[in-house]
Each structure stands twice: as C-alpha cells, then as structure tokens.
Amino acid sequence: MLIQKPAMPGVAPQRVPIVELRNIHVAFGGVRAVAGVTLDLYPGEVVGVVGGNGAGKTTLMRTLSGARPPDSGQIFVNGQPVTIGNPRDAKALGIETIYQTLALADNLDAPANVFLGREVTSAATLNDAAMESATRKVIGRLNPNFKNFKTPVLRLSGGQRQAVAIARAIHFNARALIMDEPTAALGPAETAQVHALIRQLKSEGIGIFLVSHDIHDVFDLSERISVMYHGKLVGTVNKNDVTTDEVLGMIILGKPPTKLTQQELAELHG
C-alpha cells in the first residue's frame, strides 16, 4: 500500500503521533492557500513536506507554529486536541520552528535572540550572563567554532545565523520541530552539519517536519514524504516505497504515483 491513511487515534494504540493536523483550511481573501490537509508526525521521525512554490507547505506549517491560526480544522498534540492561537501557544506545547527567514532580530546578539520572548530573569531583571552561558552551551553543540556571542547577529555569517536560529528551537526541549528550508542559504559544509544535527535530533526522539524544495535532502533525511499541490495534499508516501521521479510527479503534476502514466514518468525523467 503506497498511500497511507492518516493515523487515527485508536487505530495505532501503541504509537500516538506527537502532532496531528486534521483537515486544515487556510484562506487569504479568496485564495485557498491550504484546503483540507491532514498530516501527522511521530516521535523520532522526519516527515518531508514538499511541493512547488505556492503549494501551501509554509502556510500549513505556520498554522502549527502559531504564526497564522487555521480558519478551520483541528490540531492534536499527543492525541489531545489543542488550540494554537499564537507562537507562544505552540512553544508551550513543545513545537518549535526554524523559519526560512530565520526570524532573527538582527540588532541583538546571539543570546538575546536565542532567549527572545523567553528571557531568563533574576530579581525581575534580565540575567544576560545566564542566557549567554546557556547559549554558549547549545551553540557549542552545533558549531564549536562559534565565538561571537556579544555581536549583533547582523554581522554573523549565514551558517552562524542559522546556528542561532536552530539553537533557539532546540534549547527549550522541543518535542516537534518545524524546519522550513533549513539548508537553502548554506554552503556544503554547513549543510552537512545541519544534516548531522537532524539525524541526532531524530535519535533523541524529536519529530521533525522538514519543509524543503530539495528532493535529495528530503530523500536523504525523511522516513515519510508528504506532497502538497495547490493547497491540497497529494499524498504521504514512505520513502522506501517510491522513487524520486514518482515524488517529482506528485510535486509537478499533483498526481499520486499510482495515477501517473508511464509516459508522464518518462517525461519527468527527461
């Protein structure tokens, strides 16, 4: 069976998804950006979320990160229905996001960015030393060469900025991680670092939604791949059951592999 049915609570009693998005709808004015999408994510797995530009994958992820609450649909965390009305709600549920833009305050230093919105205080004042200490630890894990803890992140390299954004997501014991194009702006060495990190996080039991346009990255890292096309879910497939061409077919033509003709496949392979 190629196309999975979304796991319903009760159907797989031994494993409860960390996150389940059910029948999510988002519209911008008259444009239906996400129309009835259902996805789930289990502990310790990476689910690749792929699709062309405007397929709705970032919008879908933003409903989970609290940046744009859905117009309708339900979100379950550990089997419990939840309401995520803003980013704070998502973080409280252990859902962290690394945005494609990184969402850093460029004028602040790394510790201030890592703890933005969750500052450590003592006697009602910011405890910068404690935040810097924690930041040194978590970034040291990601990039041992990182030294600029007191400079505005504006002056850091792309890889270092990425490290700050990742540190912010993993420092607070995330259970689910959304990574939106995490390697799009990185060089080969830094990309390899991020890949290693994703594998490590996976082994720690964190579930990851990996949003990417790079089909090879996704095949490399994911267990399952969900393909979106014009706001709808084409399907979710197990990586081992499909070829890259078949996934490309889903992305470009919006058809599940069973409905692809040999001719279409041949054209995709070009």
Partner 1 sequence: MGATVPGEASAEGAPARSFLTTISSALAPVTGVVRSLEIDTRMLGMIGALIVIWVSFNIVSGGTFLTARNLWNLSVQSASIAIMATGMVLVIVSRNIDLSVGSMLGFLGYTMAMFQAVWIPQSLGLGFEQPFTWVLTLVIGIALGAAIGGLQGFIVAYGGVPSFIVTLGGLLVWRGLIFRYAQGQTIAPLDTTFQMLGGGTVGTRVGALGEWPSWTLGVVMCVAIVYVMISSRRRRRRYAFPVRAIWAELLVGAVTCGAVLGIVLVANSYPLPVNVAIQYAEEHGIAIPPGGLFIPTGVAFPVVIMLIVTLVVTFLATRRRFGRYVYAIGGNPDAAALAGINVRRTIMLTFALMGSLAAVSAAVQTARLNAAVTNLGVQNELDVISAAVIGGTSFSGGIGTVPGAILGAVVMQSLRSGMVLLLVDSPTQDIVVGIVLVAAVGLDAVVRRRVN
Binding site for partner 1 (CB under 8 A): 65-67, 86-88, 91, 97, 99, 101-108, 112, 116-119, 121, 124-126, 129-130, 132-133, 155
For partner 1, give the closer residue by CB, 27 or 126.
126
- Smallest distance from the beta carbon of 134 to partner 1, in angstroms? 10
Of 169 and 247, CB closest to partner 1: 169
Nearer to partner 1 (CB atom), residue 58 or residue 222: 58
- Min dist. Cβ of residue 133 to partner 1 (A): 4
Beta carbon of residue 165, minimum distance to partner 1 (angstroms, whole number): 10
Question: What DSSP string runs through the chain?
Answer: --BPPPPPTTTSTT---SEEEEEEEEEETTEEEEEEEEEEE-TT-EEEEEESTTSSHHHHHHHHHTSS--SEEEEEETTEEE---SHHHHHHTTEEEE-TTTT--TTSBHHHHHTTTS--EETTEE-HHHHHHHHHHHHHHH-TT---SSSBGGGS-HHHHHHHHHHHHHTT--SEEEEESTTTT--HHHHHHHHHHHHHHHHTT-EEEEE-S-HHHHHHH-SEEEEEETTEEEEEEEGGG--HHHHHHHHHH---GGG--HHHHHHHH-
CB of 97 to partner 1, least distance (A): 7
Closer to partner 1 by CB, 103 or 252: give it: 103
Q: Give the nearer residue to partner 1 in terms of CB position, either 62 or 239.
A: 62
Minimum CB–partner distance for residue 68 and partner 1 (Å): 11
Q: Minimum distance between the CB of residue 67 and partner 1, rounded to whole angstroms?
A: 6
Rounded to a whole number of angstroms, the minimum distance from the CB of residue 267 to partner 1 is 40
Calculate the alpha carbon distances from 92 to 62, 77, 87, 174, 267 in Å: 16, 11, 9, 9, 47
Q: Closer to partner 1 at the Cβ: 41 or 102? A: 102
Beta-carbon-side half-sphere exposure of residue 7 (alpha carbons within 13 Å): 18
- Judged by CB, which is closer to partner 1: 155, or 269? 155
